[in-house]
Amino acid sequence: MTKKLIEQVTSGYQTKFQQKPQHYFFSPGRINLIGEHTDYNGGAVFPCAVTLGIYAAVGPSKDTNFHLYSANYQEKSLINLSRNELNRPKQKNWSDYFCGMVQEIIPQNLELKFGLNIYLAGDLPPAAGLSSSAALELLFGTILKNTYNLSIEKKDLILAGQRVENNYLGLKTGIMDQFAIGMGKQNQAILLNTNNMQYEYFPLELENNVIVIMNTNKPRTLIDSKYNERRKECNSALHKLQKELSINSLGDLTKDQFDEYTYLINDSILIKRARHAVFENQRTILAAKALKTHQLAKFGHLISASGISLAYDYEVTGKELDTLVQTALKIPGVLGSRMTGAGFGGCAIALVEENIVPSFIEQVQTVYNKKIGYPAKFYLAKTTDGPRELKVTI
C-alpha cells in the first residue's frame, strides 16, 4: 500500500465531494514476462500483477447519481452520470470502463440502490502497455461487488472485463490482462493456457536479479493501432491451416507441425504472424520451466528471443521500443529484454542484476534521450495481489 497515494485519494475525495470516503480499493497493473499476442491465439502467457496500480476512495453520493473523478486524466477528470446514463454507448473516455462493467455485471442496474462518489489516483501510467484498462475494469468491478454486496465470483469479474473490451469498446483482446490482474498473487507469476484456461502459479525467484520496466513515454492506443489487424491476420492463417489440420487455434501447433504445414498459408505476411504465435507459445512454456528450475540465463535468452520475434515476425515494436531493448541487451549484467504488452509504444522490460540497476538506467536513458529526443521512465517491477478492498485508518 502506498501511503502517499492513499493520502492523495483521501484529501482529493474530501475536497471534491465534501465528505469522508467510506471505502478504499486498489487494482494493480501487470507485466507479461513472455507470451505476447498468444492469448487470442490459444497459446500460453506468463504474466504477473505489479504494485504500480490505481487507488480509489469511495462513498455513497448525496444524490442518486454517480460522480467519478480521476486525478490521472487531464481531460474529463470529473464525470457525472445519472442512473440512466450508465446504459449509454461508449464515449471514448475513461468512464467507459465504469459504464461497461455496470452493464456487464448489473443487468438493468437492478442492484444500484444508491449512487456513488469515486475518486481515483495512481502510479500506473495509462496507455503504456501495463494494462491500465484492465486494471480499471477490475477496480470498478470490485467496487461494485463490494459496495452493493453482489454475488459474483472473481472469474466472472475477469470475464466481464474482457467482454467490456470486446463488446463495449470494440477491441478484440484475449483474456490475459484481466486474468493476470484478477488472479494476481504476490511473488508469483501465472502460466495460463488460454486454450483451456488451466493455470499454474510459479514463484518469481530471480536470485540477485530484478525486473526493470522501461516506459517509452510514447502512448499507444490499441483501438487505433494495428492490434485488431494482427488478430485478423492470425485468423486468416489459422483458416488456411484448418483446410488440412484439425486444430482450434494456432496454439495447438508445435514448431515442427507449423514448419511442415506452412505451405498451406502461402502468404509471406501471414506466415510471419502465425510463426510468431506458434513459436511464442512454445517459448513461453519453456521459459516457465526454466524459471522453475532456476535456469535464469535460459529464461533471459527466451525473453530476448520473444522480443526479436515481436520486432521482426509480428512487427509491433517501433523505434522507441527497439531502442530501449537493443540498448539494454548491450549492457553486461542484463539477462534478457523485450517489449511487454501489445506494443505500438508502451513499455519494455529487462531482467537486470540488482547491483547495476542505477548504472543500467543511466546508460539506457542516455542512449534513448539521444536517439528519441525525450526521456524514458523506469520502474522496478514488484509483484502484488489482485484487486481488493483496503483496510485504511486515516
Residue 284 near residue 37, CB atoms below 8 Å? no
The DSSP element (H or E) to which 298 belongs, if any, is helix 296-312
**Count of beta carbons in the 10 Å neighbourhood of residue 68:** 22
177 catalytic per annotation: yes
Q: What is the pLDDT of residue 226?
A: 82
DSSP string, 3-30: HHHHHHHHHHHHHHHSS--SEEEEEEEE
From 198, 124, 193, select the one nearest 384 (Cα to Cα): 124
Strands 66-70 and 116-122: parallel
For the chain, give the number of residues: 394
Tens of pLDDT, residue by residue, the chain (394 residues)? 589 999 999 999 999 999 999 999 999 999 999 999 999 999 999 999 999 999 999 999 999 999 999 998 877 799 999 999 999 999 989 999 999 999 999 977 677 889 999 999 999 988 788 899 999 999 999 999 999 999 999 999 999 999 999 999 988 888 999 999 999 999 999 999 999 999 999 999 999 999 999 999 987 665 556 888 999 999 999 999 999 999 999 999 999 999 999 999 999 999 999 999 999 999 999 999 999 999 999 999 999 999 999 999 999 999 999 999 999 999 999 999 999 998 888 999 999 999 999 999 999 999 999 999 999 999 999 999 999 999 998 7
CA distance 217 to 305: 24
pLDDT for the residue numbered 38: 97
Which pLDDT does position 73 carry in this prediction? 81
Q: In the prediction, which pLDDT does 127 show?
A: 79
Angle between helices 154-163 and 96-105 (to 10 degrees): 120
pLDDT score recorded for residue 107: 77
Strand 347-353: give its sheet, edge to edge: 334-340, 347-353, 209-215, 377-380
Listed in sequence order, the residues at least 6 apart from 89 whose beta carbon sits closer than 8 Å to its beta carbon are none
- Domain spans of the chain? 3-202+383-390
Secondary structure letter of residue 165 according to DSSP: I
**Separation CA 226–CA 233 (nearest Å):** 10
The rounded distance, in Å, linking the Cα atoms of 349 and 37 is 16
Q: What is the CATH number assigned to the segment(s) 3-202+383-390?
A: 3.30.230.10
Q: Taking a C-beta distance cutoff of 8 angstroms, is the pair 269, 233 a contact?
A: yes
191: closest CA among 212, 176, 206, 178?
176
Q: Which residue is listed with cell 536479479?
A: 209
Instruction: Write down the catalytic residue from 39, 96, 177, 252.
Output: 177
The pTM score is: 0.93
Helical (H) or strand (E) element with 31 = strand 23-32
Compute CA distances 313 → 1, 240, 310, 316, 349, whole Å. 40, 18, 6, 9, 19
pLDDT at 221: 60
340 is written with which cell numbers? 511487454
